Amino acid sequence: MPATAASPEDFTDARRELTGVTARLERRALLWLAARMPSWVAPDHLTALGVGGLGVAGAAYAASARWPWLLLVVNAGLVLNWLGDSLDGTLARYRQRTRPRYGHYVDHVVDGLGAVALLGGLAVSGWITPSVGLGLLVGYLLFLIHMGYAAHTTGRFTMSYEGIGGTELRIGLALVNTLVLVRPTVTVNGLPVLVLDIAGSIALVGMAAMLVRAVCVTAVELDRGDRARW
């Protein structure tokens, strides 16, 4: 039987926790942009811009083996994604027109769709071993699952881990793209290795470690809270 949707009164808007390296500067920039955004621009327009940016980036990745300059288009898509994905909620809060249930749900869905587009395009680009690219996609989707359930059960929407959030990931990927455009491979023990394979493998290990730690910490917190009610 399908679960019954919670009423607005039952829904608790999870407290957003953004503690990335760039968080303070990002908050100031987003508030500045929200105050100057034309009245006809709605948060949903920005959400569409964000997921569209990742769609453009994924398509550019897929075609970049033939036209390497498209890696710069990937970077432009990441900028558009940051603008739309980061500013939609800020604009809604600035205008006091928040829809917490709708916003939380749609944000997670479009993040998942955008990740499939971006990392799927990367996996077939030829700049990375497909298994590494798909591993990054699986790892990111698992993190999305954790973040969504953790927000629902703890009341905190943690958006960054160990100082790394979405903005830091975009900046890092853009820098690696630029490096790949100049030097796609490096020599390790006399053998050529794809730069994105190295960066992707490091990211995978770090992502796995952070996810395991986050899941364990959250599970222990929830277990203690539930036991306290006995």
Could you read off the pLDDT of 127-156 as tens digits, one per residue? 999 999 999 999 999 999 999 999 889 988
Residue 7 lies in a domain: no
Give the integer Cα–Cα distance in Å for 60 and 58.
Answer: 5
Any idea which residue has 């953004």 for tokens? Answer: 18
Residue 181 lies in a domain: yes
Residue 8 lies in a domain: no
Task: End-to-end CA distance of the chain: give it in Å, rounded.
Answer: 29
Residue 15 lies in a domain: no
Low-confidence ranges of the chain (pLDDT < 50): 1-12
CATH of the domain at 71: 1.20.120.1760
Residue 1 lies in a domain: no
Using alpha carbons, list the distances in angstroms from residue 22 to 37, 42, 170, 171, 216: 22, 25, 11, 10, 26
Do residues 194 and 127 make contact, with C-beta atoms less than 8 angstroms apart?
yes
Residue 215 lies in a domain: yes
What domain count does the chain have?
Answer: 1
Residue 11 lies in a domain: no
pLDDT in the model for residue 161: 84
pLDDT in the model for residue 14: 64
Residue 3 lies in a domain: no
Do residues 211 and 142 make contact, with C-beta atoms less than 8 angstroms apart?
yes
Domain of 93, in residue numbers: 20-227
pLDDT in the model for residue 6: 42
